[in-house]
């Protein structure tokens, strides 16, 4: 196996890596051919499996290592890191809209 492209990412959104952001992460990961893995401590999960992502229990401030292997590994790491580091902005917008509708 080739050398992975790696990057440490920090979960920045208030509620952590719960179902909606995990779904966003999986959908973006599926746009790449690279094998993509997230690591928390010594626990490794496939980034294309939402249930695996949820088992990480990654709350706000959690550091994860993003690893990708393959031809588009660099692009995959950059795109996924940007999604995480931006705090999953689409999810924040959806939450604000839901709260506004509920008032």
| Token duo for residue 50 | 């939402």
pTM score, whole prediction: 0.85
Q: What is the mean pLDDT of residues 10-25?
A: 93
Tokens 């626990």 correspond to 43
- Give all strands of the β-sheet with 43-46 in edge-to-edge order: 5-10, 63-69, 35-40, 43-46
User: Which of 18, 20, 40, 48 does the annotation list as catalytic?
Assistant: 18
Which residues form the domain of 97? 5-102
Overall number of domains in the chain? 1
Chain segment 40-87, per-residue pLDDT in tens: 999 999 999 999 999 999 999 999 999 999 999 999 999 999 999 999
pLDDT in tens, 21-38: 999 999 999 999 999 999
pLDDT at residue 94 tops 80 = no
Nearest to 81, CA basis, from 32, 15, 14: 32
Domain CATH for 15? 3.30.1340.10
User: Strands (DSSP E) along 1-103, which ranges?
Assistant: 5-10, 35-40, 43-46, 63-69
The answer to whether residue 2 is catalytic is no
* 89 — pLDDT class (breaks 50, 70, 90): confident
């Amino acid at each position: 196996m080739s050398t992975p492209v790696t990057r440490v990412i920090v979960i920045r959104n208030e509620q952590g890596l719960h179902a909606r952001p995990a779904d966003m992460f999986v959908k973006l990961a599926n746009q790449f051919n690279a094998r993509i893995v997230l690591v928390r401590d010594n626990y490794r999960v496939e980034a294309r499996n939402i249930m695996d992502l949820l088992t990480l229990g990654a709350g706000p401030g959690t550091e994860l290592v993003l690893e990708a292997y393959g031809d588009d590994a660099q692009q995959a790491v950059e795109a996924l890191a940007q999604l995480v580091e931006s705090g999953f902005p689409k999810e924040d917008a959806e939450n604000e809209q839901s709260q506004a509708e509920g008032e």
